[in-house]
Amino acid sequence: MKKRIYLSSPHMCGHELAFVNEAYETNWVAPVGKNIDNFEQDLCNYVGVNHAVSLSSGTAAIHLALILLGVVTGDEVICQSFTFCGSANPILYQKAIPIFVDSESETWNMSPEFLEKAIKDRIKKGNKPKAIIYVHLYGMPAKIHEIHKIADGYEIPLIEDAAEALGSTYKGRQSGSFGDFAVLSFNGNKIITTSSGGALLGNDKALIDKARFLATQARDPVPHYEHSTIGYNYRMSNILAGIGRGQMRILDKRVEQRRNNYKFYNDELGNIEGLSFLEETKNVKSNYWLTTVLIDPRKIGGITRESIRLKLESENIESRPLWKPMHMQPVFKDAPYYGDRLSENLFENGLCLPSGTNMTNYDKQRVVKAIKKYCRDA
């Protein structure tokens, strides 16, 4: 059996070890320490925000953002439907109600048109949404200007889920710098990783300080353990922050490498009738965290997303369907939904190709050869 090619696996650069070693040698094996402070500063400098708190996951960051925005039981929160469940689950942690909004076809992210429809309808029904969570899926920046204009018009705060988009830019500005809060993830499959981890970013010092307080079991500033609110154990370890500091040094290169993966696949497969790739629109730069391909079975002899996936799997190559929209998930079946089912079609016909930065040219050749051969034989 040939070596397995993974969808997106961790890729260390070597700089991580010195920071991890220092934490070990100085015995800061704890959820406080120099690596954490420095990693948070690195994130602020890179993204262009004033404050950041590193956390145990991106999901924790979204949860804290909702709490800081005052989301409580019965509140409604608008969320992009076409995303990973980490964007939406925290709405339920707060016993709030998710309102799902579908995507538009240019970026596959939140449709401004359906966003406005949803807001108007929810207000008409007497429950104005408390927050909006939008996503830059697969690294492709959403229609930020349009989304923000609508949200600002109704004075609804925005949570920018940039978990997949560190290093992507919109009109030259880094993603993660737009929302009232922004969220990053350093899970093992993301563009840079701390094995698991996340961060909450923002420009309001008091709010990010409050997030840090809530993430540390909401410990009041007295000598004994005193708690006047319920907190969480959401902080990042100083060891993992050391990995993050090392990874930040190579981030720009990783963005370039992911973009090269996309270009390679597009060059090799883009002219096969029935296969198509999502392209950047004007003014955006995607980190192309994952390269995705859409399959049109009518144009390609009945080949489907699933038949390509199984073909690749038989060659020990991992690929994955696009995210299954949240409004189709059994756990969210009762949640209101606004859209025209575009994301259902993307889920049905889209595939994520292996996109790790540690793939060799030979690995990438294996992937395109398998797909080309399969499409030719069909």
Site residues (CB under 6 A) for ligand PLP?
Answer: 57-59, 83-84, 86-87, 135, 161, 163-164, 185, 187, 198
Residue with Cβ nearer ligand PLP (159 or 269):
159
DSSP E strand boundaries for the chain: 51-55, 76-80, 97-101, 131-135, 158-161, 169-170, 173-174, 181-185, 198-202, 275-277, 284-285, 291-295, 320-321, 337-338, 350-353
Spatial separation of the C-alpha atoms in residues 177 and 191, rounded to whole Å: 18
63 neighbors 71 (Cβ within 8 angstroms): no
> Minimum distance from CB of 161 to ligand PLP (Å)?
5
Residue with Cβ nearer ligand PLP (82 or 374):
82
Residue with Cβ nearer ligand PLP (119 or 162):
162
> Minimum distance from CB of 91 to ligand PLP (Å)?
12
Residue among 92, 85, 89, 143 nearest 116 (CA):
143
Residue with Cβ nearer ligand PLP (57 or 94):
57
> Minimum distance from CB of 13 to ligand PLP (Å)?
20
Residue with Cβ nearer ligand PLP (10 or 58):
58
Residue with Cβ nearer ligand PLP (55 or 303):
55
Residue among 87, 98, 105 nearest 342 (CA):
105
Both tokens assigned to 154: 């109704």
Neighbouring residues of 326: CB distance < 8 A, sequence distance ≥ 6 = 79, 81, 82, 83, 85, 87, 88, 98, 100, 332, 335
334 neighbors 22 (Cβ within 8 angstroms): no
> Minimum distance from CB of 65 to ligand PLP (Å)?
11
* Count of Cβ atoms closer than 10 Å to residue 268 Cβ: 16
> Minimum distance from CB of 61 to ligand PLP (Å)?
8
- DSSP assignment of 123-140 equals HHTT---SEEEEE-GGG-
User: Which residue's Cβ lies closest to ligand PLP?
Assistant: 58
Residue with Cβ nearer ligand PLP (86 or 98):
86
> Minimum distance from CB of 137 to ligand PLP (Å)?
6
Place of tokens 């060059």: 267
Half-sphere exposure of 240 (CA within 13 A, CB side): 22
Residue with Cβ nearer ligand PLP (65 or 150):
65
> Minimum distance from CB of 133 to ligand PLP (Å)?
9
> Minimum distance from CB of 58 to ligand PLP (Å)?
3
- For residue 9, what are the β-bridge partners? none
